[in-house]
Amino acid sequence: MKENNNKVLKRILKFTRPYIGYLCLALVLAVITVSTTLYAPVLVGKAVDLIISEGNVDFQGILPVLLCLGVVIAITALSQWLMGLCTNKITYNTAKDIRTAAFNRLQIVPLKFIDSNQHGDILSRVITDVDQISDGLLMGFTQLFTGVITTLGTIVFMLSINFAITVIVVIITPLSLFVASFIARRTFNMFRLQSETRGELTSLVEEMISNQKVVKAFGYEKEAQSQFEEINLRLQEYGLKATFFSSITNPATRFVNGVVYTAVGITGALLAINGSISVGQLSAFLSYANQYTKPFNEISGVVAELQNAFASAKRVFDIIDEESEEPDSPDAFKLTEVDGSVSLKDVEFSYRADTKLIDNFNLSVKPGQRIAIVGPTGSGKTTIINLLMRFYDVDSGEIMVSGYPIKEVTRNSLRSMYGMVLQETWLKTGTIRENIAYGKPDATDEEIVKAAKLAHAHSFIRRLPQGYDTPVSEYTENISQGEKQLLSIARVMLVMPPMLILDEATSSIDTRTEIYIQKAFARMMEGRTSFIVAHRLSTIKEADCILVMNKGNIIEQGTHEELLAKGGFYADLYNSQFEM
């Protein structure tokens, strides 16, 4: 665990390098704060020694001492405030950079990472776990800076007063560090489990809230509540254990510190009786003994936060360390135009090594052809789309666009050649205008309105209170699912790319609007190579070629009439739509 913590700490400190100036300033301010704090007991001791006996007080001597004490306290307060500003700057900027690094990594990880991890857990790592890191760093920087300097400073001041008592304090105090270290080793695992379970709980809550209508429609509330309570109970258990072990640290170290204070008091009192030190010096020494042990209490309290921060940091760094998507080859070039021809040769692909999905797949598409892909669920229809767009790379074989192997062109330029409308609609938080112009931010208002009209979205947009400036988001309720899909179609209509991918693009649209959309698609597909994934086979009758897939292979292909005449798998699939 110690080795892992050291690695995590080194990585966190790398993120603090840009703020080394604030770090140095914080150290200087820590020295000033500690120096003035430790000088105050000296002044108090002097003032005590000027109180000679009852009715015999040297007020003329005490007054300048008190004035000096007031200045020292003011300097201490100011330096503490400035040090707090510096440590806050370091902490929150470091947290910001870590969160940015994690988010940036999410932009370039392969899709399989996003697909294979719970989205709520990823969310928890980027938001909650980074907050835990910042909390740990804030306490760590503040307490460790002042703690270490206070410990060293008090030793110097105590040595200047009496060597023997200082030796007693230094010998006994390390017991605090032993106790803190012993407990810390046992808390890291609990904090790690706590962070993981928190991510699991966030994932469940995100899933249930985003699908609340489905939960209610199927009466899944009790099961959802049961799942929540089970995970929440585990989180409570790990949280209690982590807090229990870490909370032992402070009272244990305080007990050791109490022993130190008692030893100083008894030894100092005996020396004062013998005349070795004055009462004022004993007063200062007792204050120093308290100051000396205070950092050990604070540092032991920081241990829990640091352990939590290390556990959280490891989860965030797991994202940052995730392998990025295989980069474009160094000699990859940008596709600027394509003729629309696409070919797949001996393609093999599987999401899992032990389960083959696409096996020896071959396909040749001529420019401008409309290719429909049909088949039962799990046959590989959407997988073909993922491979064409290079969301996933083939295990073997080759895919070519306009005669160029797609691995030899940049991903961005390849994807810009396709216009994609999926069954699942997605809107970004922003206005309707911004959503339509998502793929072409510099589009003019005229172009946006024209695309909306082509997608038959203009009429419903006009009826909205703010028209094209109406704010929407993925979870907005002011427009229907079908209207969201019209906006997704308008987004493609605006860009008008040379090739199209329509994955059940009209699934959420009423029959009448679908007729209009199909006409719009027909105009849009003229001269463009189009891949159409459809479950409603009535929508693909006009396709130039229909590929019938099953278990990752093309088992039939031809026009609608040819496939019906064969009386094979497609005919059975088509006729099954009309069976009662």
Diameter of the chain measured on Cα atoms: 122
| Single residue among 467, 496, 525 that ends a domain in this structure | 496
Is 401 a domain residue? no
CATH number at residue 483: 3.40.50.300
Task: Please name the amino acid found at residue 33.
Answer: T
**Same domain (yes/no): 163, 304:** yes
| Single residue among 285, 320, 355 that ends a domain in this structure | 320
Please report the sign of the dihedral spanned by the C-alpha atoms of residue 432, residue 438, residue 439, residue 445.
positive
124-175: per-residue pLDDT in tens? 888 888 888 887 776 676 676 677 777 777 777 777 777 777 777 777 766 7
164-212: per-residue pLDDT in tens? 777 777 777 667 667 666 666 667 677 778 878 887 888 888 778 777 7
What does the alpha-carbon distance between residue 142 and residue 299 come to, in Å, rounded to a whole number? 10
| Single residue among 451, 478, 496 that ends a domain in this structure | 496
CATH number at residue 276: 1.20.1560.10
Residues 94, 97, 99, 105, Cα dihedral to 10°: -140
CA–CA–CA angle 269, 275, 281 (5° rounding): 60
541-561: per-residue pLDDT in tens? 778 888 888 877 788 888 888
Per-residue pLDDT band at 293 (split at 50, 70, 90): low
Is 405 a domain residue? no
CB 387 within 8 A of CB 347: yes
What does the alpha-carbon distance between residue 530 and residue 500 come to, in Å, rounded to a whole number? 5
- Tell me how far apart the terminal alpha carbons of the chain are, to the nearest angstrom: 64
Better-predicted residue by pLDDT, 105 or 379: 105
Task: Please name the amino acid found at residue 243.
Answer: T
pLDDT over 60 (residue 3): no
**Same domain (yes/no): 437, 305:** no
Is 356 a domain residue? no
What does the alpha-carbon distance between residue 362 and residue 397 come to, in Å, rounded to a whole number? 9
Is 531 a domain residue? no
pTM: 0.67
Is 506 a domain residue? no
Host domain of residue 135: 2-320
pLDDT over 60 (residue 253): yes
What does the alpha-carbon distance between residue 134 and residue 91 come to, in Å, rounded to a whole number? 6
Give the 3-state secondary structure of 357-392: CEEEEEEEECCCCEEEEECCCCCCHHHHHHHHCCCC
Per-residue pLDDT band at 244 (split at 50, 70, 90): confident
pLDDT value at residue 433: 92
- The closest alpha carbon to 349, from 383, 400, 399, 313, belongs to 383
**Same domain (yes/no): 451, 306:** no
pLDDT over 60 (residue 2): no
Is 342 a domain residue? no
What does the alpha-carbon distance between residue 215 and residue 232 come to, in Å, rounded to a whole number? 19
Please report the sign of the dihedral spanned by the C-alpha atoms of residue 429, residue 433, residue 436, residue 437.
negative
Q: Extract the runs of DSSP E, i.e. beta strands, from 283-357.
A: 342-349
- The closest alpha carbon to 145, from 28, 225, 37, 247, belongs to 28
Per-residue pLDDT band at 24 (split at 50, 70, 90): confident
**Same domain (yes/no): 59, 187:** yes
What does the alpha-carbon distance between residue 570 and residue 552 come to, in Å, rounded to a whole number? 15
Six token digits for residue 35? 């120096």
Number of domains the chain contains:
2
pLDDT over 70 (residue 277): yes
66-117: per-residue pLDDT in tens? 888 889 889 989 988 998 888 888 888 888 899 899 898 888 888 888 877 7
% of residues, the chain, pLDDT over 70: 87
CB 106 within 8 A of CB 316: no
Is 338 a domain residue? no
Chain position carrying tokens 């962070």: 195
Is 293 a domain residue? yes
